[in-house]
Amino acid sequence: MASGLFALLDDIATVMDDVAAMTKIAAKKTSGILGDDLAVNAEKASGFVPDRELPVLWAISKGSFVNKLIILPVAFLLSAFAPVAVTVVLVLGGLYLAYEGAEKILEWIIPHAPAHEKINLDEEITPEQVVNHENKKIKSAITTDFILSVEIVIIAMSTVVDKPLSTQVAVVSIIALLATVGVYGLVALIVRMDEFGYKLIALNPEDDTLSDKIGRLLVKALPVLIRIISFVGTIALLLVAGGIFAHNIEFFHHLMESWPGIIKEFLIGLGVGIVILIPILIFKKIKSKSGQS
């Protein structure tokens, strides 16, 4: 009886070690998308009055949980009954990531002029308009989260696709939970950083105190931090996409074999992204001209 119990505990410990090791690998592979997810949501959760930032972020977080509840069962079913589909979805997602990364780099090189709506400053903004604006941003953030969540789950699944179903469920669920709790927890800290800075500045009436200096540093650091996260996330997107192509498509696997892996994957991701981006830009240009005529 005792020996059977010890054998069971030993099996559980072995499974937990396997889950921990595979979770570490999956977290490493999904880190690029998690970085982009962090940058995107930090941007989408900012721009509100201070007392509305956390409620909006909480609404987005709940939507993210619902996204995971939809995506996870589908991913497990595909893994169990159509494992090839996991690779297909992975490559399709890689195409999207490559396109998104290439588009962001193009925006750095050729900044797009934002389209501003004409606003009548004499017209009072009603509470209903404020709520509608919030709902639109929340809906947009949840939609973006869904796309990124699919990629996070599929990439995590690809690391354990040859493992038992119990290991797959444990590893992918942990990564999905990390992608929501971890990312949105950090976003909450980031978007409130400037507010905390203002409170430090107002802490005492004296000028140029230590709290003033730290407060001003936090206020100035927020936009810089978001830009840094966005830059790192974009590079990571192309690396993740290039890694997907290099490991799942024979042509890319044997391309630039003597090159360092990180350079090879970045160039492959960027190259595929540019190939996808060019026809999309042409289509948008033609559609824009036809709309004006």
Residues 235-254 have pLDDT tens digits of 888 888 898 899 888 889 88
Residue-range domain boundaries for the chain: 2-111+125-255+262-292
**Residue type for 233, please?**
G
List, for residues 183-197, the tens digit of each pLDDT value: 888 888 887 787 788
> Where does residue 62 rank: exposed (0-12), middle (13-18), buried (19+ CB within 10 A)?
middle
Tokens found for residue 173: 């669920």
Who wins on pLDDT, 23 or 200?
A: 200
Among 61-75, 112-126, 151-165, the range scoring the smallest mean pLDDT is 112-126
Predicted local distance difference test score (pLDDT) of residue 177:
86
Please report which residue ranges of the chain form alpha helices under DSSP H: 2-44, 50-81, 83-109, 127-159, 165-177, 183-191, 193-201, 210-248, 250-253, 261-292
The answer on pLDDT for 120 being more than 50 is no
Who wins on pLDDT, 89 or 266?
A: 266
Predicted local distance difference test score (pLDDT) of residue 240:
81
> Where does residue 203 rank: exposed (0-12), middle (13-18), buried (19+ CB within 10 A)?
middle
The answer on pLDDT for 5 being more than 70 is no
Structure confidence at residue 1 as a pLDDT band (50, 70, 90):
very low
Predicted local distance difference test score (pLDDT) of residue 43:
65
* 141 neighbors 8 (Cβ within 8 angstroms): no
The answer on pLDDT for 2 being more than 50 is no
Mean per-residue pLDDT, 34-54: 68
- Among 147, 153, 148, 155, which Cα is nearest to 247's? 155
Structure confidence at residue 273 as a pLDDT band (50, 70, 90):
very high
Mean per-residue pLDDT, 76-97: 84
Among 39-53, 87-101, 258-272, the range scoring the smallest mean pLDDT is 39-53
Among 30-34, 191-195, 208-212, 230-234, the range scoring the smallest mean pLDDT is 30-34
Structure confidence at residue 117 as a pLDDT band (50, 70, 90):
very low
Structure confidence at residue 46 as a pLDDT band (50, 70, 90):
low
What is the percentage of the chain residues whose pLDDT exceeds 90? 9
- The mean of the pLDDT values for the chain is 78
The answer on pLDDT for 13 being more than 60 is no
Q: How far apart are CA 158 and CA 175, in angstroms?
A: 12
The answer on pLDDT for 44 being more than 70 is no
